[in-house]
Chain A
Amino acid sequence: MATLIVNGVSHEIEADPAQPLLWALRETLKLNGTKFGCGIAQCGACTVHVEGQPVRACQTPLGAVDGLEVTTIEGLADADGQMHALQQAWIDHQVPQCGYCQSGQLMSAAALLAETPAPSDADIDRAMQGNICRCGMYGRIKSAIKQAALQMPQPSPEPAMQETGDIDAEETTNG
């Protein structure tokens, strides 16, 4: 038995603790937005947030997320249903093609912006490296992330530099 807090709602899941989170989300909780692509953490289609960190649900055993907060694509919009800036940017840039990879892309991008509100191109490449888009929409994904970044609350430079002395000063000022 594992307790999962998914998109703010707590669930008791009766399953083998070795079972990957992906299948509990899809089959038990019927949250089908999180996709199965490879099963071996190679494609990112199954990306969700655990305590805000992007993880590959296909390789995350239920036992490892017992009692933790999980966010899926269904929980990316805010409580009032207001889309995340990334979702709007995805529409503005007409990012999805087949769309199958896009839940995972959005979750990876959302984790990036939460951590790095004004990412450089290299930051974006790094954060998105685990997500394959077989339809090849990388250029649009990148543009959409940049658009959404403009709407992210940016940390004021001074406190950010004080709190995290190792952050590259340029990164905190160029947004």
Chain B
Amino acid sequence: MGKWTRRGFITAGVLTTGALVVGVGIRPGHRAPKLAGMVTSEDETLINAWVKIDTDNVITAIAPHSEMGQGAQTAITQMLADEMDADWEKIAFMEAPATEEFANYALAREYAAGNLTLPRFMEGTVDGVFMAMTKRMELQITGGSTSVRFTGQRGMRIAGAAAREMLIKAAAKDWDVPATQIRSEDAYLYHDASERKARYADFAAAAADYMPPAQPKLKSSADFKIIGKSKQRLDIPSKVDGSAVFGIDIDLPGMKYAAVKAAPVIGSKITSIDARGVSTMPGVVKIIKDDYFVAIVADGYWQASQALGQLDVRYENSPAKDLNQDAIFENFRQSMSAAVSEGKEKKDIAYGDARKALDSAAQVFEAEYSVPFLAHACMEPMNATVRIEGESAEIWTGTQNPLSIRNAVAETLGFKKDNVTLHNQFMGGGFGRRSSTDYPVMAAKIAAQCDFPIKMIWSREETTQQDWYRPASISRFKIGLDEAGQPVSWDQQYIDKLDPPEASHPIYNLSDVFVHYVESDHHIRFGPWRSVDHTQHGFYIESLVDELAHAAGQDGYTYRRALLADKPRHLAVLDATAKAANWGRTLPDGHGLGISIVESFGTICAQCVEVDMSNGEPKVTHVYSVADPGFVVNPDGFAAQIESGVIYGLTAALHGEITIEEGRVMQSNFHDYPIMRMADAPEIHVETINSGARLGGGGEPGTPPTAPALTNAIFNATGQRIRNLPVMTGLTSSV
């Protein structure tokens, strides 16, 4: 076994501007228990927390990002592998465990350095300078399209380059040659003059003795061999033969199954249950009544859910019970009007003097738009498996937010954090839903009352009705126009500001802007939903601009061009989109073409939607999408993300609507919360532009432009303007 030497974690912060701490130096048998598990055998050496080289020269990238299908694990592995001159055929990925050592340092730094404010879902954890911040924030979130642009760019590339430099240093010492004479290729080191050659693995142990260089030399994009290539995703083979393990697939010895139900009026308490006849049903092991949910634990999930269906549950009489959909929107309108008349607008962003400019405008254009609540509808229902032994707990689940879950479970159970272990699994969809801690906490509460492990599975109905919803909202615009129809004053009011802060800020060249909001006070809980506030603001702003264009007698493309004249990146994206869609062509009868452009998470994405309205109902035939994320790490993976974002956006725009009656969510399953199916899916054309700008995200930017491009296309086809989503409701209610 040899001597166990403790090595210092350099995550403590060797860093100068532009350089990142590359991780952890560790040897087999290291006592840091959370990391020791990653070293699977004695003859492996973990150079640092981001990269592992084992004895057969396989290099494993270790990153704190979970996989929900966005391909980010592969993309950031590419970034590591390229800088390291690794052999792509012999590379693997491992997700970093949920411990503070892996807190997402790069993410924190980017927020600190990039003049971005922290998303609200991270608030309350931020404190101090980012060095201290990382640990304290315990950031380990997959969301906000952060993996590639933050962890990949700021962490992985540097880690890879540093690891390579350390290996070269070690070889140079051993071979007694200058480091500059050593070259690296496909995970081998060469000294050509003396014809010496060694595998990285041969020097892994020696290299671990060096501190990683704080500023390793990074490749220029011309030298990339792996970055920028459409490498096949590492997780895909396991997803075609049923072997991929999702949270719901965990199987523990002696495990029982739990079916659960919370109050239909979210957040209400359960007053009593009548379990007569239920406890004797086949397979039923335990009936648990919590303040906020009931659970039936049984030998099988079906037995548990059958029994749950028979359980008589009484709920408290919450005031939220009287709330209906119409009242929610009516309250929005009243509070918006009141805020203006009482001068109580909450300022979002203001420059120039919009109110004054409005007075001198030649004309005023006003419009009101609305969007409904939306559920995430992840394909895999919420679930978590928990085993509690003594004072420690283990959790198996798929989450975008591992550290928060670990902490929330520790707090719920009154356990020490170090005694709670999270085993993160593949997620059958995340889209923001799996950044909440509610479902693992619920499973932990159930497990705490059982002396065996439990797998808790939410029904589809429960998953739909106990979501954290994309907020319903209204937006009102008052736009002052000059004689030519150009905006000279921009006043936007809306309901609820969440994240990211810039979502409501117009990208257009405007001189006098006042954007303000009021906060809602209903009980429906909000959560980040793919692209968060950009979904509603993309729809509002891009619908409005289209209306202004038509009011000015111009088409949406030309009008936007003029307003973006000083923004070359935006113009390039817009132009390429129009070109891809062959903007201006004669369309088939009943067809319409609409355009939109939204910048979100650092990526500019424009889309043209072609819709066929000849049957009275929208049939989307084509979507043309062009995005500039700065640089595309994996072009095919990026394209898949955009395709996914488009379908997600179209589903929401056409059908997506969660309605509230008597305080409860009315939808329950895919029959009343429909998802776009193959026959309705359009052809999607995706292009990307590598402008070289700072890296943007991939998972979310494809969604926001879709809805407005669709409604603009419908207007183009029919002259009917859809101001209230979803389209299918808007079309019927406004006829």
Q: Is A35 a contact partner of B380 (Cβ separation < 8 A)? A: yes
Q: Does B49 contact A (CB under 8 A)?
A: no
**Closest beta carbon of chain A to B347's beta carbon, Å:** 37
Q: Is A139 a contact partner of B684 (Cβ separation < 8 A)? A: yes
Q: Is A96 a contact partner of B379 (Cβ separation < 8 A)? A: no
The stretch of B187-195, B560-568, B640-648 in contact with A is B640-648
The answer to whether A136 and B676 touch (CB under 8 A), given A40-B669, A42-B670, A100-B428, is yes
- Cβ proximity bits B226-254 to A, threshold 8 Å, 1 near / 0 not: 00000011011111111111101101000
B239 closest partner in A (C-beta): A99
**Closest beta carbon of chain A to B229's beta carbon, Å:** 13
CB within 8 Å of A: which B675-692 residues = 675-679, 681, 683-684
Secondary structure at chain A's binding surface: helix, strand, loop or mixed?
Answer: loop
The answer to whether A38 and B669 touch (CB under 8 A), given A94-B236, A103-B242, A128-B678, is yes
A98 closest partner in B (C-beta): B69
* Interface band, chain A: 35 or more
Q: Is A99 a contact partner of B637 (Cβ separation < 8 A)? A: no
**Closest beta carbon of chain B to A67's beta carbon, Å:** 21
Task: Give the distance in Å from the alpha carbon of A26 to the alpha carbon of B300 in the complex.
Answer: 10
Please give, as numbers and ranges, the residues of chain B lying within 8 Å of A74 by CB-CB distance: 241-242
**Closest beta carbon of chain A to B492's beta carbon, Å:** 30
Q: Is A36 a contact partner of B248 (Cβ separation < 8 A)? A: yes
**Closest beta carbon of chain B to A146's beta carbon, Å:** 13
CB within 8 Å of B: which A1-40 residues = 15-16, 19-20, 23, 26-28, 30-40
A145 closest partner in B (C-beta): B678
Task: Give the distance in Å from the alpha carbon of A63 to the alpha carbon of B526 in the complex.
Answer: 43
Please give, as numbers and ranges, the residues of chain B lying within 8 Å of A70 by CB-CB distance: none
Task: Give the distance in Å from the alpha carbon of A19 to the alpha carbon of B299 in the complex.
Answer: 13
Q: Which of B240, B257, B671, B683 contacts A40 (CB 8 A)?
A: B671
Q: Is A27 a contact partner of B300 (Cβ separation < 8 A)? A: yes
A43 closest partner in B (C-beta): B670
Q: Is B678 a contact partner of A37 (Cβ separation < 8 A)? A: no
The answer to whether A106 and B240 touch (CB under 8 A), given A35-B248, A43-B379, is yes
Q: Is A96 a contact partner of B236 (Cβ separation < 8 A)? A: yes
Q: Is A99 a contact partner of B248 (Cβ separation < 8 A)? A: no
The answer to whether A137 and B640 touch (CB under 8 A), given A37-B381, A42-B670, A72-B242, is yes
Task: Give the distance in Å from the alpha carbon of A140 to the alpha carbon of B232 in the complex.
Answer: 14
Q: Which of B237, B644, B679 contacts A125 (CB 8 A)?
A: B679
**Closest beta carbon of chain A to B278's beta carbon, Å:** 16
The answer to whether A136 and B646 touch (CB under 8 A), given A32-B242, A77-B241, A96-B69, is yes
Q: Does B108 contact A (CB under 8 A)?
A: no
Q: Does B636 contact A (CB under 8 A)?
A: yes
Please give, as numbers and ranges, the residues of chain A lying within 8 Å of B636 by CB-CB distance: 94
Q: Does B378 contact A (CB under 8 A)?
A: yes
Q: Is B236 a contact partner of A91 (Cβ separation < 8 A)? A: yes
Task: Give the distance in Å from the alpha carbon of A135 to the alpha carbon of B645 in the complex.
Answer: 8
Task: Give the distance in Å from the alpha carbon of A19 to the alpha carbon of B300 in the complex.
Answer: 10
Task: Give the distance in Å from the alpha carbon of A90 to the alpha carbon of B624 in the complex.
Answer: 24
**Closest beta carbon of chain A to B427's beta carbon, Å:** 6
Task: Give the distance in Å from the alpha carbon of A27 to the alpha carbon of B233 in the complex.
Answer: 29
Please give, as numbers and ranges, the residues of chain B lying within 8 Å of A173 by CB-CB distance: none
Task: Give the distance in Å from the alpha carbon of A142 to the alpha carbon of B680 in the complex.
Answer: 13
**Closest beta carbon of chain A to B706's beta carbon, Å:** 11
The answer to whether A99 and B69 touch (CB under 8 A), given A23-B300, A135-B379, is yes
CB within 8 Å of A: which B186-237 residues = 232-233, 235-237
- Cβ proximity bits B246-274 to A, threshold 8 Å, 1 near / 0 not: 10110100000100000000000000000
Please give, as numbers and ranges, the residues of chain A lying within 8 Å of B678 by CB-CB distance: 124-125, 128-129, 131, 133, 138, 141-142
Q: Does A73 contact B (CB under 8 A)?
A: yes
Please give, as numbers and ranges, the residues of chain B lying within 8 Å of A32 by CB-CB distance: 242, 245, 248-249, 251
Q: Does B429 contact A (CB under 8 A)?
A: yes
Q: Is B681 a contact partner of A136 (Cβ separation < 8 A)? A: yes
Given contact pairs A35-B428, A98-B430, A134-B648, enumerate 16 new A-B contacts (beta carbons under 8 Å). A19-B302, A27-B301, A32-B249, A36-B248, A39-B669, A42-B669, A43-B460, A90-B240, A96-B235, A96-B236, A98-B427, A98-B429, A124-B678, A129-B678, A136-B676, A141-B678
Write the residues of chain A forming the contact surface with B, with a CB cutoff of 8 angstroms.
Answer: 15-16, 19-20, 23, 26-28, 30-40, 42-43, 45, 72-74, 76-77, 83, 87, 90-91, 94-103, 106, 124-126, 128-129, 131-142
Please name 25 pairs of A and B residues whose Cβ atoms are closer than 8 Å in the assembled complex, sorted by A. A26-B249, A30-B251, A33-B241, A39-B459, A42-B671, A73-B241, A76-B242, A83-B240, A91-B237, A95-B240, A96-B239, A97-B640, A98-B68, A98-B69, A99-B69, A99-B238, A125-B678, A128-B678, A132-B670, A132-B677, A136-B648, A136-B676, A136-B681, A138-B676, A140-B640
A-B pairs with the 6 shortest C-beta distances? A33-B242, A136-B647, A100-B428, A98-B69, A99-B239, A97-B69
